[in-house]
Amino acid sequence: MTEVSMTVNGKPVKADVPDNTLLVQFIRENLRLTGTHVGCDTSQCGACVVHLNGKAVKSCATLAVAANGADVTTIEGLANGEMHPMQTAFKENHGLQCGFCTPGMIMTATDMVARYDANGKELTEAAIREELEGNICRCTGYHNIVKAIADGASKMASS
DSSP secondary structure string for all residues of 89-107: HHHHTT--SSSSSHHHHHH
pLDDT at 48: 96
Mean pLDDT value across residues 23-44: 93
pLDDT at 41: 75
Kindly report the CATH number assigned to the domain that includes residue 21: 3.10.20.30
**DSSP, res 20:** T
Same structural domain, 69 and 89? no
Range of the domain at 96: 85-158
- Residue closest to 20 by CA, chosen among 57, 58, 64, 59: 64
